[in-house]
Amino acid sequence: MKLDLTKQAASFLDGLPAKQYKQVASRVHKLTREPNPHDAEHIHGRPGYRRVDIGEYRIIYAVEGDTIKVPVIGKRNDDEVYRILDRKRL
């Protein structure tokens, strides 16, 4: 599968400290091998989107054909990831 990160998701990832970058980037790349991991949850009210958590971060993604699209990566305890997702869907 291919991976498609938005500019926002890539920028957030690039701004992480090295240890967290490695953890989150590894989790994102694992989605290309297993797009529906056991801990993925569908996001209520946002059809087609799922989320997975890694440490204190949340990865929002959608599977479209043979591509994993990652529009948003953000803090788990912050609803900003959902606001960003909603703005991107307009």
The pLDDT assigned to 79 comes to: 81
76: closest CA among 5, 27, 18, 7?
27
* Neighbour-count burial for 4-30, b at 16+ CB within 10 Å, e otherwise: ebbebbeebbeeeeeeeeeebbebbee
The pLDDT assigned to 89 comes to: 63
Domains located in the chain, CATH noted: 2-88 (3.30.2310.20)
The pLDDT assigned to 22 comes to: 96
Backbone φ and ψ of 60, nearest 5°: -100, 130
pTM equals 0.90
| Residue-by-residue pLDDT tens, the chain, 90 positions | 999 999 999 999 999 999 999 999 999 999 999 999 999 999 988 899 999 999 999 999 999 999 999 999 998 877 888 888 888 764
Contact criterion met (CB below 8 Å) for 59 and 51: yes
